[in-house]
Chains A and B, each alone.
Chain A
Amino acid sequence: MTESGGLDARLQWRRGALALDLDIALPPRGITAVFGPSGAGKTSCLRAIAGLESGSRGSVRFGGELWQDSARGVFVPPHRRRLGYVFQDAGLFTHRSVAGNLDYGYRRAGQPAQLDREGLVDRFGVRPLLARRVDTLSGGERQRVAIVRALLSDPALLLFDEPLSALDAAARDDLLGRLETLHASLAVPMIYVSHAIDEVARLADHLVLLDAGRVVAQGPLQATLTRLDLPPALSGAVGAVLEGIVVGHDAEDHLTELAFAGGTLWLPRRGDAVGRTLRCRIGARDVVLSRERQHASSALNQIRSRVVAMAAAEHPSQCLVRLDAGGCALLARITRRSWQALELEPGSEVWAQVKATALGG
Protein backbone atom coordinates (compact mmCIF):
# COMPACT_ATOMS: atom_id res chain seq x y z
CA MET A 1 0.00 0.00 0.00
CA THR A 2 1.35 3.40 -0.94
CA GLU A 3 1.77 6.05 1.73
CA SER A 4 -0.03 8.87 -0.02
CA GLY A 5 -0.98 10.66 3.18
CA GLY A 6 -4.45 10.75 1.70
CA LEU A 7 -6.97 7.96 1.70
CA ASP A 8 -6.18 4.41 0.70
CA ALA A 9 -9.12 2.05 0.71
CA ARG A 10 -9.33 -1.54 -0.47
CA LEU A 11 -12.71 -2.95 0.37
CA GLN A 12 -14.93 -5.78 -0.71
CA TRP A 13 -18.46 -6.64 0.28
CA ARG A 14 -21.88 -7.48 -1.05
CA ARG A 15 -24.87 -5.23 -0.82
CA GLY A 16 -27.99 -6.91 -2.12
CA ALA A 17 -27.35 -7.90 -5.73
CA LEU A 18 -24.30 -5.65 -6.01
CA ALA A 19 -20.81 -7.00 -5.34
CA LEU A 20 -18.54 -4.11 -4.46
CA ASP A 21 -14.83 -4.30 -4.97
CA LEU A 22 -13.08 -1.00 -4.41
CA ASP A 23 -9.46 -0.02 -4.60
CA ILE A 24 -9.14 3.71 -4.16
CA ALA A 25 -6.15 5.95 -3.54
CA LEU A 26 -6.87 9.63 -3.04
CA PRO A 27 -4.58 12.62 -2.67
CA PRO A 28 -4.45 14.39 0.72
CA ARG A 29 -5.82 17.65 -0.67
CA GLY A 30 -8.63 18.92 -2.85
CA ILE A 31 -11.98 17.48 -3.87
CA THR A 32 -12.27 13.98 -5.19
CA ALA A 33 -15.50 13.22 -6.99
CA VAL A 34 -16.91 9.69 -6.97
CA PHE A 35 -18.96 9.58 -10.12
CA GLY A 36 -20.99 6.87 -11.79
CA PRO A 37 -24.47 5.87 -12.94
CA SER A 38 -27.11 5.29 -10.28
CA GLY A 39 -26.77 1.87 -8.70
CA ALA A 40 -23.00 1.85 -9.25
CA GLY A 41 -22.37 1.78 -5.49
CA LYS A 42 -21.26 5.39 -4.97
CA THR A 43 -23.11 5.93 -1.70
CA SER A 44 -22.07 2.51 -0.40
CA CYS A 45 -18.49 3.41 -1.20
CA LEU A 46 -18.72 6.62 0.82
CA ARG A 47 -20.45 4.83 3.73
CA ALA A 48 -17.76 2.16 3.79
CA ILE A 49 -15.05 4.82 4.01
CA ALA A 50 -16.92 6.39 6.93
CA GLY A 51 -17.26 3.00 8.65
CA LEU A 52 -21.05 3.00 8.36
CA GLU A 53 -21.24 -0.03 6.09
CA SER A 54 -21.15 -3.13 8.23
CA GLY A 55 -19.93 -6.11 6.29
CA SER A 56 -17.22 -4.38 4.26
CA ARG A 57 -13.94 -6.27 4.48
CA GLY A 58 -10.50 -4.98 3.67
CA SER A 59 -8.43 -2.03 4.72
CA VAL A 60 -8.87 1.72 5.00
CA ARG A 61 -6.02 4.04 5.84
CA PHE A 62 -6.23 7.79 6.09
CA GLY A 63 -3.37 10.23 6.60
CA GLY A 64 -1.18 7.68 8.34
CA GLU A 65 -4.01 6.40 10.56
CA LEU A 66 -5.30 2.88 10.18
CA TRP A 67 -9.11 2.98 10.17
CA GLN A 68 -9.84 -0.56 9.17
CA ASP A 69 -7.89 -3.74 8.62
CA SER A 70 -10.16 -6.75 8.61
CA ALA A 71 -7.26 -9.19 8.46
CA ARG A 72 -5.98 -7.88 11.79
CA GLY A 73 -9.40 -7.24 13.30
CA VAL A 74 -8.92 -3.45 13.32
CA PHE A 75 -12.04 -1.34 12.97
CA VAL A 76 -12.15 2.25 14.16
CA PRO A 77 -15.83 3.22 14.64
CA PRO A 78 -17.14 6.28 12.75
CA HIS A 79 -17.17 8.55 15.81
CA ARG A 80 -13.41 8.13 16.23
CA ARG A 81 -12.56 8.75 12.55
CA ARG A 82 -12.64 12.57 12.60
CA LEU A 83 -14.80 12.84 9.54
CA GLY A 84 -17.66 15.04 8.48
CA TYR A 85 -20.50 13.44 6.54
CA VAL A 86 -23.13 15.43 4.66
CA PHE A 87 -26.01 13.11 3.82
CA GLN A 88 -28.20 13.31 0.74
CA ASP A 89 -31.17 14.09 3.01
CA ALA A 90 -29.03 16.32 5.28
CA GLY A 91 -29.75 14.09 8.32
CA LEU A 92 -30.45 17.00 10.67
CA PHE A 93 -31.70 16.34 14.21
CA THR A 94 -35.40 17.23 14.27
CA HIS A 95 -35.42 17.54 18.08
CA ARG A 96 -32.91 20.38 17.98
CA SER A 97 -32.98 23.87 16.53
CA VAL A 98 -30.56 24.89 13.79
CA ALA A 99 -28.18 26.29 16.43
CA GLY A 100 -28.56 23.07 18.43
CA ASN A 101 -27.62 21.05 15.37
CA LEU A 102 -24.52 23.17 14.76
CA ASP A 103 -23.45 22.85 18.40
CA TYR A 104 -23.78 19.07 18.44
CA GLY A 105 -20.52 18.27 16.70
CA TYR A 106 -18.82 21.54 17.67
CA ARG A 107 -19.13 20.73 21.40
CA ARG A 108 -18.02 17.15 20.95
CA ALA A 109 -14.97 18.30 19.00
CA GLY A 110 -14.08 20.46 22.01
CA GLN A 111 -15.01 23.81 20.37
CA PRO A 112 -11.66 24.03 18.57
CA ALA A 113 -10.28 27.57 18.58
CA GLN A 114 -8.93 27.44 15.04
CA LEU A 115 -12.44 26.99 13.63
CA ASP A 116 -14.02 30.26 12.55
CA ARG A 117 -17.51 29.40 13.75
CA GLU A 118 -19.08 32.80 13.10
CA GLY A 119 -17.35 33.08 9.73
CA LEU A 120 -18.70 29.72 8.57
CA VAL A 121 -22.19 30.56 9.81
CA ASP A 122 -22.11 33.74 7.73
CA ARG A 123 -20.47 32.22 4.68
CA PHE A 124 -23.24 29.67 4.31
CA GLY A 125 -25.97 32.18 5.11
CA VAL A 126 -27.07 30.25 8.19
CA ARG A 127 -27.18 33.15 10.66
CA PRO A 128 -30.83 34.10 9.99
CA LEU A 129 -31.79 30.44 10.48
CA LEU A 130 -30.14 29.80 13.86
CA ALA A 131 -33.30 29.93 15.96
CA ARG A 132 -35.46 28.06 13.45
CA ARG A 133 -36.80 24.55 13.86
CA VAL A 134 -35.19 22.15 11.42
CA ASP A 135 -38.47 21.00 9.88
CA THR A 136 -39.34 24.54 8.76
CA LEU A 137 -36.25 24.78 6.55
CA SER A 138 -36.21 24.47 2.76
CA GLY A 139 -34.10 21.80 1.09
CA GLY A 140 -31.29 24.22 0.31
CA GLU A 141 -31.28 25.64 3.84
CA ARG A 142 -31.10 22.13 5.28
CA GLN A 143 -28.04 21.26 3.25
CA ARG A 144 -26.33 24.51 4.18
CA VAL A 145 -26.94 23.78 7.87
CA ALA A 146 -25.72 20.21 7.41
CA ILE A 147 -22.52 21.42 5.74
CA VAL A 148 -21.76 23.97 8.47
CA ARG A 149 -22.59 21.35 11.11
CA ALA A 150 -20.09 18.94 9.55
CA LEU A 151 -17.41 21.64 9.21
CA LEU A 152 -17.81 22.65 12.86
CA SER A 153 -17.01 19.13 14.05
CA ASP A 154 -13.44 19.84 12.91
CA PRO A 155 -13.17 16.98 10.40
CA ALA A 156 -9.94 15.78 8.84
CA LEU A 157 -11.93 14.40 5.90
CA LEU A 158 -15.25 15.64 4.53
CA LEU A 159 -17.68 13.32 2.80
CA PHE A 160 -20.54 14.61 0.67
CA ASP A 161 -23.26 12.24 -0.54
CA GLU A 162 -25.06 13.95 -3.43
CA PRO A 163 -25.87 17.01 -1.33
CA LEU A 164 -27.45 18.83 -4.27
CA SER A 165 -29.54 16.06 -5.79
CA ALA A 166 -32.79 16.92 -4.00
CA LEU A 167 -32.58 20.68 -4.60
CA ASP A 168 -34.27 22.87 -7.20
CA ALA A 169 -32.13 24.60 -9.81
CA ALA A 170 -31.74 27.92 -7.97
CA ALA A 171 -30.82 26.35 -4.62
CA ARG A 172 -28.48 23.98 -6.40
CA ASP A 173 -26.65 26.77 -8.18
CA ASP A 174 -26.37 28.79 -4.98
CA LEU A 175 -24.89 25.89 -3.01
CA LEU A 176 -22.57 24.90 -5.84
CA GLY A 177 -21.11 28.43 -5.75
CA ARG A 178 -20.62 28.21 -1.98
CA LEU A 179 -18.92 24.83 -2.31
CA GLU A 180 -16.56 26.26 -4.95
CA THR A 181 -15.53 28.99 -2.48
CA LEU A 182 -15.14 26.41 0.26
CA HIS A 183 -12.92 24.37 -2.03
CA ALA A 184 -10.67 27.37 -2.58
CA SER A 185 -10.31 28.15 1.13
CA LEU A 186 -10.36 24.80 2.93
CA ALA A 187 -7.35 22.53 3.22
CA VAL A 188 -9.41 19.52 4.38
CA PRO A 189 -9.72 16.89 1.65
CA MET A 190 -13.25 16.17 0.47
CA ILE A 191 -14.92 13.26 -1.26
CA TYR A 192 -17.96 14.26 -3.24
CA VAL A 193 -20.39 11.64 -4.54
CA SER A 194 -22.49 12.72 -7.48
CA HIS A 195 -24.25 11.48 -10.57
CA ALA A 196 -24.34 14.96 -12.15
CA ILE A 197 -21.30 15.51 -14.34
CA ASP A 198 -21.62 19.31 -14.32
CA GLU A 199 -21.23 19.38 -10.50
CA VAL A 200 -18.22 17.12 -10.79
CA ALA A 201 -16.66 19.28 -13.51
CA ARG A 202 -17.06 22.41 -11.43
CA LEU A 203 -15.82 21.07 -8.12
CA ALA A 204 -13.50 18.12 -8.45
CA ASP A 205 -9.74 17.96 -8.83
CA HIS A 206 -9.58 14.23 -8.79
CA LEU A 207 -12.02 11.69 -10.09
CA VAL A 208 -13.00 8.13 -9.25
CA LEU A 209 -15.31 6.54 -11.81
CA LEU A 210 -17.50 3.72 -10.53
CA ASP A 211 -19.56 1.26 -12.51
CA ALA A 212 -21.36 -1.81 -11.14
CA GLY A 213 -19.47 -1.75 -7.86
CA ARG A 214 -16.00 -1.41 -9.34
CA VAL A 215 -13.56 1.41 -9.92
CA VAL A 216 -13.20 1.68 -13.70
CA ALA A 217 -10.85 4.64 -13.70
CA GLN A 218 -9.33 7.11 -11.26
CA GLY A 219 -6.93 10.01 -11.56
CA PRO A 220 -6.84 13.76 -12.13
CA LEU A 221 -10.20 15.10 -13.34
CA GLN A 222 -9.23 16.29 -16.83
CA ALA A 223 -7.13 13.27 -17.69
CA THR A 224 -9.75 10.81 -16.46
CA LEU A 225 -12.70 12.40 -18.24
CA THR A 226 -10.85 12.47 -21.56
CA ARG A 227 -9.89 8.81 -21.49
CA LEU A 228 -11.02 6.92 -24.54
CA ASP A 229 -11.57 3.57 -22.83
CA LEU A 230 -14.41 4.32 -20.40
CA PRO A 231 -17.34 1.88 -20.27
CA PRO A 232 -20.61 2.69 -22.09
CA ALA A 233 -22.42 3.50 -18.83
CA LEU A 234 -20.20 6.57 -18.49
CA SER A 235 -20.32 7.69 -22.12
CA GLY A 236 -22.51 10.70 -21.33
CA ALA A 237 -19.87 12.05 -18.99
CA VAL A 238 -16.81 11.98 -21.23
CA GLY A 239 -15.52 15.30 -22.41
CA ALA A 240 -13.02 18.00 -21.65
CA VAL A 241 -12.97 20.25 -18.61
CA LEU A 242 -11.09 23.45 -19.40
CA GLU A 243 -9.89 25.88 -16.81
CA GLY A 244 -9.57 29.47 -17.92
CA ILE A 245 -9.64 33.06 -16.78
CA VAL A 246 -12.56 35.39 -17.36
CA VAL A 247 -11.24 38.13 -19.65
CA GLY A 248 -14.43 40.02 -20.34
CA HIS A 249 -18.17 40.14 -20.70
CA ASP A 250 -20.34 41.14 -23.60
CA ALA A 251 -23.16 42.88 -21.82
CA GLU A 252 -25.31 43.28 -24.93
CA ASP A 253 -25.22 39.64 -25.98
CA HIS A 254 -24.98 38.31 -22.39
CA LEU A 255 -21.81 36.36 -23.06
CA THR A 256 -18.63 35.78 -21.08
CA GLU A 257 -15.22 35.36 -22.68
CA LEU A 258 -12.85 32.84 -21.17
CA ALA A 259 -9.16 32.58 -22.04
CA PHE A 260 -7.50 29.20 -21.77
CA ALA A 261 -4.24 27.71 -22.99
CA GLY A 262 -5.72 26.73 -26.37
CA GLY A 263 -7.49 30.02 -27.19
CA THR A 264 -10.65 31.72 -26.01
CA LEU A 265 -14.21 30.53 -25.49
CA TRP A 266 -17.52 32.36 -25.44
CA LEU A 267 -20.05 31.04 -22.97
CA PRO A 268 -23.42 32.15 -21.67
CA ARG A 269 -22.83 35.00 -19.23
CA ARG A 270 -21.93 34.01 -15.68
CA GLY A 271 -21.75 36.35 -12.72
CA ASP A 272 -18.00 35.94 -12.25
CA ALA A 273 -15.72 38.96 -12.17
CA VAL A 274 -13.02 39.55 -14.78
CA GLY A 275 -9.79 37.84 -13.75
CA ARG A 276 -11.49 34.97 -11.97
CA THR A 277 -10.62 31.39 -12.78
CA LEU A 278 -13.49 29.44 -14.19
CA ARG A 279 -14.08 25.88 -15.27
CA CYS A 280 -15.98 24.93 -18.36
CA ARG A 281 -17.01 21.46 -19.42
CA ILE A 282 -17.18 20.62 -23.12
CA GLY A 283 -19.03 17.34 -23.61
CA ALA A 284 -17.68 15.11 -26.35
CA ARG A 285 -20.99 15.06 -28.20
CA ASP A 286 -21.15 18.87 -28.29
CA VAL A 287 -18.01 19.16 -30.45
CA VAL A 288 -18.16 19.32 -34.27
CA LEU A 289 -14.95 18.87 -36.24
CA SER A 290 -14.09 20.60 -39.51
CA ARG A 291 -10.94 20.72 -41.58
CA GLU A 292 -11.15 24.46 -42.09
CA ARG A 293 -12.27 27.37 -40.03
CA GLN A 294 -15.94 28.05 -40.78
CA HIS A 295 -16.90 31.61 -41.62
CA ALA A 296 -20.63 31.19 -41.74
CA SER A 297 -21.33 28.99 -38.75
CA SER A 298 -23.56 29.63 -35.79
CA ALA A 299 -21.00 27.98 -33.51
CA LEU A 300 -19.38 30.85 -31.61
CA ASN A 301 -16.33 28.87 -30.66
CA GLN A 302 -13.80 27.46 -33.09
CA ILE A 303 -10.68 26.05 -31.52
CA ARG A 304 -7.66 25.15 -33.56
CA SER A 305 -6.54 21.67 -32.52
CA ARG A 306 -4.63 18.62 -33.56
CA VAL A 307 -5.91 15.04 -33.59
CA VAL A 308 -4.08 12.91 -31.02
CA ALA A 309 -5.91 9.59 -31.07
CA MET A 310 -9.12 7.89 -32.07
CA ALA A 311 -10.97 5.04 -30.40
CA ALA A 312 -14.15 3.11 -31.07
CA ALA A 313 -17.21 4.39 -29.22
CA GLU A 314 -19.89 2.09 -27.80
CA HIS A 315 -22.09 2.50 -30.88
CA PRO A 316 -20.51 1.01 -34.02
CA SER A 317 -21.34 4.11 -36.07
CA GLN A 318 -19.34 6.40 -33.81
CA CYS A 319 -15.82 7.07 -32.67
CA LEU A 320 -14.20 9.19 -29.99
CA VAL A 321 -11.45 11.56 -31.07
CA ARG A 322 -8.99 13.08 -28.68
CA LEU A 323 -7.64 16.47 -29.65
CA ASP A 324 -4.93 18.70 -28.35
CA ALA A 325 -5.54 22.45 -28.23
CA GLY A 326 -2.49 24.28 -26.92
CA GLY A 327 -1.80 21.55 -24.40
CA CYS A 328 -5.44 21.14 -23.36
CA ALA A 329 -7.20 17.88 -24.12
CA LEU A 330 -10.52 18.06 -25.99
CA LEU A 331 -12.79 15.18 -26.88
CA ALA A 332 -15.14 14.88 -29.84
CA ARG A 333 -17.66 12.16 -30.54
CA ILE A 334 -18.21 11.95 -34.31
CA THR A 335 -19.41 9.33 -36.78
CA ARG A 336 -16.96 6.96 -38.43
CA ARG A 337 -18.29 8.23 -41.73
CA SER A 338 -17.12 11.78 -40.87
CA TRP A 339 -13.76 10.48 -39.68
CA GLN A 340 -13.26 8.90 -43.10
CA ALA A 341 -14.79 11.72 -45.14
CA LEU A 342 -12.48 14.29 -43.51
CA GLU A 343 -9.53 11.89 -43.96
CA LEU A 344 -8.56 12.38 -40.33
CA GLU A 345 -5.62 10.65 -38.68
CA PRO A 346 -3.43 11.32 -35.67
CA GLY A 347 -1.60 14.57 -36.38
CA SER A 348 -4.34 16.11 -38.58
CA GLU A 349 -5.07 19.78 -38.04
CA VAL A 350 -8.78 20.39 -37.29
CA TRP A 351 -11.08 23.10 -35.96
CA ALA A 352 -13.22 22.04 -33.04
CA GLN A 353 -16.51 23.90 -33.15
CA VAL A 354 -18.48 24.28 -29.95
CA LYS A 355 -21.85 25.97 -29.60
CA ALA A 356 -21.78 28.46 -26.75
CA THR A 357 -25.25 27.26 -25.80
CA ALA A 358 -23.80 23.83 -24.99
CA LEU A 359 -21.54 25.34 -22.33
CA GLY A 360 -24.00 25.53 -19.51
CA GLY A 361 -25.75 28.58 -18.16
Chain B
Amino acid sequence: MALLSPQDLQAFGLTLRLAATVTASLLLLGTPLAWWLARTRSRWQRPVAAVVALPLVLPPTVLGFYLLLLLGPHSVVGRSMAALGLSPLPFTFAGLVVASMLYSLPFVVQPLHNAFESVGTRPLEAAACLRAGPLDRFLSVALPQAMPGFVTAAVLGFAHTVGEFGVVLMIGGNIPGRTRVLSLRIYDHVEAGEYHQAHMLSLCLLVFSFSALLAMSLLRARRHRHD
Protein backbone atom coordinates (compact mmCIF):
# COMPACT_ATOMS: atom_id res chain seq x y z
CA MET B 1 0.00 0.00 0.00
CA ALA B 2 1.62 3.15 -1.23
CA LEU B 3 -0.44 5.58 0.76
CA LEU B 4 0.91 4.48 4.13
CA SER B 5 4.52 3.57 4.83
CA PRO B 6 5.33 0.35 6.75
CA GLN B 7 6.16 2.48 9.80
CA ASP B 8 2.78 4.18 9.52
CA LEU B 9 1.05 0.83 9.27
CA GLN B 10 2.97 -0.39 12.28
CA ALA B 11 1.81 2.62 14.28
CA PHE B 12 -1.71 1.96 13.05
CA GLY B 13 -1.66 -1.67 14.23
CA LEU B 14 -0.12 -0.74 17.55
CA THR B 15 -2.79 1.88 18.16
CA LEU B 16 -5.61 -0.56 17.45
CA ARG B 17 -4.02 -3.17 19.71
CA LEU B 18 -3.59 -0.62 22.48
CA ALA B 19 -7.14 0.72 22.20
CA ALA B 20 -8.66 -2.77 22.11
CA THR B 21 -6.65 -3.92 25.14
CA VAL B 22 -7.43 -0.78 27.10
CA THR B 23 -11.16 -0.87 26.25
CA ALA B 24 -11.53 -4.52 27.19
CA SER B 25 -9.62 -4.08 30.46
CA LEU B 26 -11.54 -0.94 31.34
CA LEU B 27 -14.92 -2.58 30.70
CA LEU B 28 -13.85 -5.43 32.95
CA LEU B 29 -12.56 -3.25 35.79
CA GLY B 30 -14.88 -0.29 35.25
CA THR B 31 -18.07 -2.37 35.56
CA PRO B 32 -17.70 -3.24 39.25
CA LEU B 33 -16.45 0.29 39.95
CA ALA B 34 -19.42 1.90 38.17
CA TRP B 35 -21.82 -0.53 39.89
CA TRP B 36 -20.38 0.43 43.25
CA LEU B 37 -20.61 4.14 42.42
CA ALA B 38 -24.25 3.75 41.34
CA ARG B 39 -25.40 1.65 44.29
CA THR B 40 -23.36 2.63 47.34
CA ARG B 41 -24.44 4.98 50.06
CA SER B 42 -20.89 5.23 51.39
CA ARG B 43 -19.48 8.67 52.16
CA TRP B 44 -16.55 7.73 49.91
CA GLN B 45 -18.81 7.70 46.87
CA ARG B 46 -18.28 11.36 45.96
CA PRO B 47 -14.50 11.46 46.54
CA VAL B 48 -14.06 8.31 44.47
CA ALA B 49 -16.29 9.70 41.70
CA ALA B 50 -14.16 12.88 41.68
CA VAL B 51 -10.95 10.86 41.35
CA VAL B 52 -12.45 8.90 38.47
CA ALA B 53 -13.34 12.19 36.75
CA LEU B 54 -9.87 13.74 37.28
CA PRO B 55 -8.43 12.72 33.89
CA LEU B 56 -11.21 14.77 32.27
CA VAL B 57 -9.73 18.02 33.53
CA LEU B 58 -6.07 17.21 34.18
CA PRO B 59 -3.57 18.03 31.38
CA PRO B 60 -2.45 14.64 30.00
CA THR B 61 1.17 15.65 30.52
CA VAL B 62 0.55 16.04 34.25
CA LEU B 63 -0.93 12.58 34.42
CA GLY B 64 1.94 11.16 32.33
CA PHE B 65 4.56 12.92 34.43
CA TYR B 66 3.22 11.54 37.70
CA LEU B 67 2.87 8.09 36.20
CA LEU B 68 6.46 8.24 35.03
CA LEU B 69 7.60 9.09 38.56
CA LEU B 70 5.29 6.51 40.10
CA LEU B 71 6.21 3.63 37.81
CA GLY B 72 9.88 4.51 37.19
CA PRO B 73 12.66 2.12 38.19
CA HIS B 74 13.55 4.14 41.31
CA SER B 75 9.99 4.43 42.65
CA VAL B 76 8.38 2.10 45.20
CA VAL B 77 6.35 0.46 42.46
CA GLY B 78 9.35 0.14 40.17
CA ARG B 79 11.58 -1.34 42.86
CA SER B 80 8.98 -3.85 44.03
CA MET B 81 8.39 -4.87 40.42
CA ALA B 82 12.13 -5.32 39.94
CA ALA B 83 12.23 -7.41 43.11
CA LEU B 84 9.55 -9.63 41.56
CA GLY B 85 11.69 -9.99 38.46
CA LEU B 86 9.48 -7.76 36.28
CA SER B 87 10.86 -5.10 34.01
CA PRO B 88 9.83 -1.50 34.71
CA LEU B 89 6.69 -0.30 32.99
CA PRO B 90 7.75 3.03 31.42
CA PHE B 91 8.63 2.87 27.72
CA THR B 92 6.85 -0.48 27.24
CA PHE B 93 3.52 -1.47 25.73
CA ALA B 94 2.29 -2.62 29.16
CA GLY B 95 3.17 0.81 30.52
CA LEU B 96 1.11 2.39 27.74
CA VAL B 97 -1.83 0.18 28.61
CA VAL B 98 -1.70 1.15 32.28
CA ALA B 99 -1.38 4.87 31.48
CA SER B 100 -4.12 4.79 28.87
CA MET B 101 -6.45 2.97 31.22
CA LEU B 102 -6.10 5.75 33.76
CA TYR B 103 -6.50 8.41 31.10
CA SER B 104 -9.62 6.83 29.57
CA LEU B 105 -11.13 5.71 32.87
CA PRO B 106 -13.86 8.40 33.10
CA PHE B 107 -14.94 7.80 29.51
CA VAL B 108 -15.81 4.22 30.37
CA VAL B 109 -16.89 4.49 34.01
CA GLN B 110 -19.21 7.48 33.65
CA PRO B 111 -21.49 6.03 30.94
CA LEU B 112 -21.65 2.78 32.93
CA HIS B 113 -22.37 4.66 36.14
CA ASN B 114 -25.22 6.57 34.46
CA ALA B 115 -26.59 3.41 32.88
CA PHE B 116 -26.64 1.55 36.19
CA GLU B 117 -28.26 4.51 37.87
CA SER B 118 -30.99 4.69 35.25
CA VAL B 119 -31.81 1.01 35.81
CA GLY B 120 -33.00 2.12 39.26
CA THR B 121 -33.81 -0.03 42.25
CA ARG B 122 -37.29 -1.24 41.24
CA PRO B 123 -36.29 -3.95 38.71
CA LEU B 124 -33.66 -5.23 41.14
CA GLU B 125 -36.16 -5.37 43.99
CA ALA B 126 -38.64 -7.14 41.74
CA ALA B 127 -35.94 -9.67 40.85
CA ALA B 128 -35.09 -10.19 44.52
CA CYS B 129 -38.76 -10.93 45.22
CA LEU B 130 -38.63 -13.49 42.40
CA ARG B 131 -35.85 -15.37 44.17
CA ALA B 132 -32.84 -13.95 42.35
CA GLY B 133 -29.73 -13.56 44.51
CA PRO B 134 -27.39 -10.54 44.24
CA LEU B 135 -25.10 -11.88 41.49
CA ASP B 136 -28.08 -13.33 39.60
CA ARG B 137 -29.83 -9.92 39.77
CA PHE B 138 -26.73 -8.19 38.45
CA LEU B 139 -26.29 -10.58 35.54
CA SER B 140 -29.94 -11.10 34.60
CA VAL B 141 -31.36 -7.61 35.22
CA ALA B 142 -28.74 -4.89 35.72
CA LEU B 143 -26.41 -5.90 32.87
CA PRO B 144 -29.04 -6.32 30.13
CA GLN B 145 -30.87 -3.15 31.16
CA ALA B 146 -27.59 -1.17 31.18
CA MET B 147 -26.48 -2.50 27.77
CA PRO B 148 -26.77 0.87 25.92
CA GLY B 149 -24.36 2.29 28.49
CA PHE B 150 -21.88 -0.48 27.69
CA VAL B 151 -22.00 0.38 23.98
CA THR B 152 -21.38 4.06 24.75
CA ALA B 153 -18.59 3.21 27.19
CA ALA B 154 -16.83 0.92 24.72
CA VAL B 155 -17.01 3.40 21.84
CA LEU B 156 -15.88 6.36 23.95
CA GLY B 157 -13.13 4.40 25.69
CA PHE B 158 -11.78 3.06 22.41
CA ALA B 159 -11.94 6.36 20.53
CA HIS B 160 -10.43 8.30 23.39
CA THR B 161 -7.51 5.88 23.71
CA VAL B 162 -6.84 6.12 19.98
CA GLY B 163 -6.71 9.89 20.23
CA GLU B 164 -4.43 10.42 23.22
CA PHE B 165 -1.03 12.09 22.90
CA GLY B 166 0.44 13.63 26.04
CA VAL B 167 0.28 10.61 28.27
CA VAL B 168 1.67 8.18 25.70
CA LEU B 169 4.51 10.55 24.91
CA MET B 170 5.46 10.84 28.57
CA ILE B 171 5.17 7.20 29.52
CA GLY B 172 5.83 5.52 26.17
CA GLY B 173 8.66 7.59 24.79
CA ASN B 174 7.76 7.16 21.10
CA ILE B 175 9.66 3.92 20.45
CA PRO B 176 8.89 2.48 16.98
CA GLY B 177 6.97 -0.79 17.10
CA ARG B 178 6.57 -0.67 20.87
CA THR B 179 5.10 2.60 21.93
CA ARG B 180 4.87 4.76 18.79
CA VAL B 181 1.12 5.14 18.29
CA LEU B 182 -0.69 7.06 15.55
CA SER B 183 -0.94 10.39 17.31
CA LEU B 184 2.84 10.39 17.94
CA ARG B 185 3.52 9.34 14.36
CA ILE B 186 1.50 12.31 13.09
CA TYR B 187 3.50 14.63 15.32
CA ASP B 188 6.74 13.13 13.93
CA HIS B 189 5.56 13.66 10.34
CA VAL B 190 4.67 17.29 11.01
CA GLU B 191 8.00 17.93 12.71
CA ALA B 192 9.82 16.42 9.74
CA GLY B 193 7.76 18.51 7.33
CA GLU B 194 6.03 15.43 5.86
CA TYR B 195 2.64 17.07 5.56
CA HIS B 196 1.29 14.57 3.05
CA GLN B 197 1.80 11.61 5.42
CA ALA B 198 0.49 13.64 8.35
CA HIS B 199 -2.60 14.38 6.26
CA MET B 200 -3.22 10.72 5.50
CA LEU B 201 -3.02 9.61 9.13
CA SER B 202 -4.98 12.57 10.45
CA LEU B 203 -7.72 11.92 7.93
CA CYS B 204 -7.85 8.28 9.05
CA LEU B 205 -8.31 9.36 12.68
CA LEU B 206 -10.89 11.98 11.75
CA VAL B 207 -12.96 9.49 9.74
CA PHE B 208 -12.63 6.91 12.48
CA SER B 209 -13.75 9.26 15.25
CA PHE B 210 -16.67 10.53 13.20
CA SER B 211 -17.82 7.00 12.32
CA ALA B 212 -17.57 5.89 15.93
CA LEU B 213 -19.75 8.74 17.16
CA LEU B 214 -22.22 8.35 14.30
CA ALA B 215 -22.51 4.59 14.87
CA MET B 216 -23.13 5.19 18.55
CA SER B 217 -25.89 7.70 18.02
CA LEU B 218 -27.52 5.48 15.36
CA LEU B 219 -27.44 2.51 17.73
CA ARG B 220 -29.04 4.64 20.40
CA ALA B 221 -31.74 5.91 18.10
CA ARG B 222 -32.59 2.34 17.12
CA ARG B 223 -32.86 1.36 20.76
CA HIS B 224 -35.16 4.29 21.47
CA ARG B 225 -37.45 3.27 18.65
CA HIS B 226 -37.65 -0.17 20.24
CA ASP B 227 -38.45 1.21 23.68
Interface of A toward B, CB cutoff 8 Å? 50, 52, 77-80, 82-85, 87, 89, 91-95, 104-105, 108-109, 133, 135, 149-150, 153, 159
Contacts and interface: CB of A to CB of B under 8 A. Distances in A.
A150 B125 CA distance: 13
Residue in B125, B144, B147 with the greatest tally of chain A CB atoms within 10 Å: B125
A105 B123 CA distance: 13
Interface string B172-208: 0000000000000000000000000000000000000
Interface string B203-227: 0000000000000000000000011
Nearest to A90: B126
A91 B133 contact: no
A82 B131 CA distance: 7
Main secondary structure of the interface of B (DSSP, over half): helix
Contact of B227 (A85, A91, A94, A149): A94
Contacts of B145: 93-95
B83 interface: no
A91 B123 contact: yes
Contacts of A109: 131
A72 B104 CA distance: 47
Nearest to B133: A79
A229 B27 CA distance: 61
Contacts of B133: 77, 79
A79 B134 CA distance: 9
A108 B140 CA distance: 12
Nearest to B131: A108
Contact of B131 (A91, A105, A159): A105
A89 B122 contact: yes
Nearest to A51: B128
Contacts of B132: 79, 104, 108
Given A87-B122, A95-B144, A95-B145, A79 B227 contact: no
Nearest to A83: B129
Contact of A79 (B123, B128, B144, B226): B128
Contacts of B141: 93, 95
Interface string B140-160: 110011010000000000000
Contacts of B122: 87, 89, 91
A149 B130 contact: yes
A109 to B, nearest CB: 6
Interface string B104-134: 0000000000000000001101111111110
A83 to B, nearest CB: 6
A91 B126 CA distance: 6
Q: Which 3 A-B residue pairings sit nearest by Cβ, starting from the closest?
A: A105-B130, A91-B126, A85-B129
